[in-house]
Structures are given as structure tokens and as C-alpha cells.
Structure 1
Amino acid sequence: MSESLISTKPSPYQALPFSDRCRRLWLRGDHLLIGVSPGNSYFSARRIAELVTWGREFFDAVDVVHADLHVDAQFEAFGYTPEHAKRRAAKEVRTTARRIERGLAEAGLNRVAMHALSDFLAAPAYQRLHAEVRRALREDPVLREAAEGMARAFLAGRLPTGVAADAGQLAAGLRYICAELPFFLDTPALLGRASSISCYHVELPLTPVLFGRSEGLRAAPTQGYAVVRPVEEPSPEATEPLAA
């Protein structure tokens, strides 16, 4: 991982690009993608407003994408009836979308757009990338292990402490993750950007697989990743912050 923080002073957030290549893409400043998961309290309307405002200091354009696919499958895996699962999922997705809309309205910025994952289902680039992900999950044990680790970490928030996800819950989590992964592989192809940085507030188990190896399924050369988090959160990997 790159050890150089990127920040401005004063600034509410700091960025830690995963690698030197990710850092170079960040410094190009073409595009930042902010992914928002339904039911994640981290992404309040205020935080979204802060993130997009902060992101526009560095990037020509910012997009916010929220997950709305396979959310009902997760509720079903936790014992909800199909009808109840669909209602709960729809409610979570609507709540997330409204929170993003409030955040973007509060930020009041141009060149910041909001999308749902389902908006891309018919796009050839998304279909190609999604097929590559599904194939890699079958054929690439390293990626499969990392994806399952990511799914377990995600599902842990819905399970009692110490209880592991069962096979059905894990499969539902993997379908959800599979739907998101095209934006970690090639956002430029999906949104027509020269290059892009996908960001999240933690490093995900799949990050080293997609951005740190030289074989198997991995991110496009114009796709980067960075952990973006509040400045007050300590960063054990970081050395001296760098002003952008």
C-alpha cells in the first residue's frame, strides 16, 4: 500500500491511495466515485455533503452510486418471506436514495450525479464486467476467498456477535458484492471517464486482489482505489500527510 496521505489543511477528510498507481490516478483528478450501501449509517446526508464537497477539491467530477440490487435476497437469507424481504429492501433503498439526495442538495455542487446500480444493468460495459466477476468467482480461488471474506464482514453487521453466516446468507452476500464489483474494476468504462478513483472509508478484503496483484481479475489501468476517512481517525499506515 502507498504510505502517503493526501489531505488539505484544514480538511475534514484524508485519502490514502492503495498503491503508487492509485496515487498517480488520484493526482490526475479526473473522477471520484463514492459508493454508498443501503443500511450503512456511516453515510449520513451531512457526510455525503462533506464528501462530495471535499472530493470536488481534487476531481473534475464526482459521482455517487448506491446499491439497490440483491438487497431483498439478503433479507430472505435472514428468514424474511419473499414479499416481506422485497418491502424491507425497497424501504432501505429509498431511505438511502433520499439521504444521498439531501446530501447533494446540501452540497449544492455542479458535476455531481447520483446513480443506482440498477441504472447500469442494460449497459454493455456493465454486463461484460459483471460476467468477468462471475467467471472469476468460479475459477479464481484467491478472488473467491477475498470475496467471501468481504461478504462475511458485511453480513456480520446483521448477525448476532459470534454467529457466522450460513451458506445461504453467504451466497446472498456474494450476489450483492458481485453487482458492485464492476465499479471497482472499470468505472471509466461505465461512466465515460478518462480515469477514476473508487473510494470507501475502509480498505476492503478485495482491494489487494483487484489492485495489488499481476494476474487474475484485477482493476483496469485507469481504475484506482483509495481509503477516504475523517481526519480525526488515526492512520497506522500513514507517514506525513501531503498537501494536494
Structure 2
Amino acid sequence: MRETLPDEIPIRPTADVSAGYEALPYSRRCREIWRRGEHLLIGVSPGNSYFSHRRIAELVGWGSGFFERIDIVYADLHVATQFETFGYTPEHARRRAAKEVKATARRIERGVEESGRPCPVRMHALSEFTGDDHYRRLHRQAVEALQTDPAYRTAAENMARGFLAARLDEGLAPSEAQLAAGVRYITAELPFFLDTPALLGVTTSVSCYHLQLPLTHVLFGRDEGLRAAPGQAYAVVRPAAVPSVPPLPSLPARAA
């Protein structure tokens, strides 16, 4: 039997803590989908040092206590374009992107292997879905909403700025070309925040990340504009803060 979350699992800001990680479903609906325990999606970006093979192994092992199936999707679209906006030649950008994507795939494979595969785990490159009708529909919605949904556009651009900050010198703002490339990268991933069930053939799904994202409220916290499908949830899943444990008091010496 799979582990179930206690009734008092929080919506925000406290958390369920298990095996060194804590889960914060964004809303009541997200919590209800989490409790169903059907599917967890882990998204991994190339070049993100957070997702070491050890972290992936821990996440898979931890997630299998709650979910029947786990899928890992790693981004491999528009990576070279971003390098070009930072001054790489097209050929160098392609080589650099291919290297990062390949290294990411290797880390995922190693992490899944080291996890012991306690539940079914599948990994996918994002590019595998570009010919899928559901992906095309969802991606088109994400791109078109940039022109019609100001709150969504602002959140997407803020998310891109946060992503680009790691590649820029401190205090520098991204150029228009860099910001546009960042938004294209994000909209390519958005179908898995909008409707993973349609893409992977599951009833419900929880997409997780270790941070609250600028797009979270837009997609999961309002009743208008671009938003996630009813079967889609989002949760922050991050290493739990472990309180320090005071040392045990010394025991009195035994009498001889």
C-alpha cells in the first residue's frame, strides 16, 4: 500500500515532510489530486545544477511512496537559441546545447537507476512531443495567450528573467533577444503545466519543482485566462528543513 498524506497536509505554507523532502501542493484542488497518488511529473532543465543524479534518485525514491507512476521530462528545445543570444556562434551554440542536453539525460538515467526504480519511471525529451496533437494544441494556447493575457505574459517574462539571471553578470538585465528566447523556452515546457494527463495518458498528474514559480498563481490560482486543466496539479517539492536535535543528557554513572 502506498503512503498517504495526513488529513492536515497543508495547502500553504507548512508542509508534509517525508524521507527528507517536503511537499506543498499549491491549492486545495492540487492537494486533492496529490492525494489520489496517480502520477508525478518531474521536469528537468539542462544546466540546472540542482538536479544532480543523486537528487533525481532521491526524488524518484521519495515520490514512489506517494505515486503509482513517475515521468521525467527534460527540456531540449530552444536551448541553442539561448546560447546564441549570449554571443555564441550558431555552430558553437548547437554544440554547447547538445552537450548540456546529453549530460542532463545521463544524470537522469543514472539517478533513476540508483533509485532502484521502486515504481514505474519513464524519461522523455521534450522534443518527443512536438508531433503530438495535444502538445501542439497546448503550446499554441500558451503562445497565443502571450498576446491576449497580460497577467500571464508578465508572469512568463518574470520567470524568464529569473532563469536568465543565472547566466548574466550580477545587476544586468536581459536584452530583448535574450528575454524573447527565454519566453520561447518556457512556453515550450508549459504544456506539461497545463495538461500532463492529455500528454501522457493519465487521469490526473502533479507537476513538481523545488521553487514556487511566477506562473503558478496564473495557471492554478485564478478562474480566467490561461490556466491548468482540472486534472493538473502543481506542488513545490523541496528538501525538508531538518531541525537541530539537542544532545541527550548524560546518564548518571552506574553503581558498581
Q: Normalising by structure 2, what TM-score?
A: 0.89
Cα deviation digits, residues 187-238 of structure 1 (max 9, x gap): 000000010000000000000000000000100000000000001279xxxx
Task: State how far apart, in whole Å, the 1-side matches of 2:195 and 2:156 are.
Answer: 17
Q: CA deviation at 1:108?
A: 2.1
Q: CA deviation at 1:69?
A: 0.2
Structure 2 partner of 1:76? 84
Structure 1 partner of 2:45? 37
Structure 2 partner of 1:66? 74
Report the more deviating stretch, 106-115 or 220-229: 106-115
2:30 is aligned with 1:17? no
Cα deviation digits, residues 125-154 of structure 1 (max 9, x gap): 000000000110111111000000000000
224, 236, 243: which one aligns with 2:233: 224
- SS of aligned partner of 1:51: helix
Query: Quick one: which amino acid aligns to residue 230 of structure 1?
Result: P
Structure with the greater alpha carbon radius of gyration: 2
Query: Quick one: which amino acid aligns to residue 50 of structure 1?
Result: E
Cα deviation digits, residues 44-97 of structure 1 (max 9, x gap): 000000001100100010011000000000000101010100000000000000
- SS of aligned partner of 1:42: coil
Task: State how far apart, in whole Å, the 1-side matches of 2:16 and 2:206 are.
Answer: 13
- SS of aligned partner of 1:21: helix
Residue pairs, 1:1-244, within 5 angstroms:
2-3=11-12, 4-8=14-18, 11-109=19-117, 110-232=119-241
Larger RCO, structure (CA 8 Å, separation 6 or more): 1
Task: State how far apart, in whole Å, the 1-side matches of 2:33 and 2:233 are.
Answer: 6
Query: Quick one: which amino acid aligns to residue 35 of structure 1?
Result: G
Q: Any unmatched runs of 5+ in structure 1?
A: 235-244
Task: State how far apart, in whole Å, the 1-side matches of 2:43 and 2:237 are.
Answer: 11
Task: State how far apart, in whole Å, the 2-side matches of 1:64 and 1:55 are.
Answer: 12
- SS of aligned partner of 1:193: coil
Q: CA deviation at 1:98?
A: 0.3
Q: CA deviation at 1:5?
A: 1.6
Report the more deviating stretch, 121-130 or 105-114: 105-114
Task: State how far apart, in whole Å, the 2-side matches of 1:221 and 1:142 are.
Answer: 20
- SS of aligned partner of 1:171: helix
Cα deviation digits, residues 24-56 of structure 1 (max 9, x gap): 000010100000000000000000000011001
Task: State how far apart, in whole Å, the 2-side matches of 1:12 and 1:65 are.
Answer: 23
After superposition, the CA RMSD in angstroms is 1.2
Query: Quick one: which amino acid aligns to residue 176 of structure 1?
Result: Y
Q: Any unmatched runs of 5+ in structure 2?
A: 1-9, 244-256
Task: State how far apart, in whole Å, the 1-side matches of 2:135 and 2:51 are.
Answer: 25
- SS of aligned partner of 1:215: coil
- Post-superposition, which runs of at least 4 consecutive aligned residues in structure 1 deviate over 4 A? none
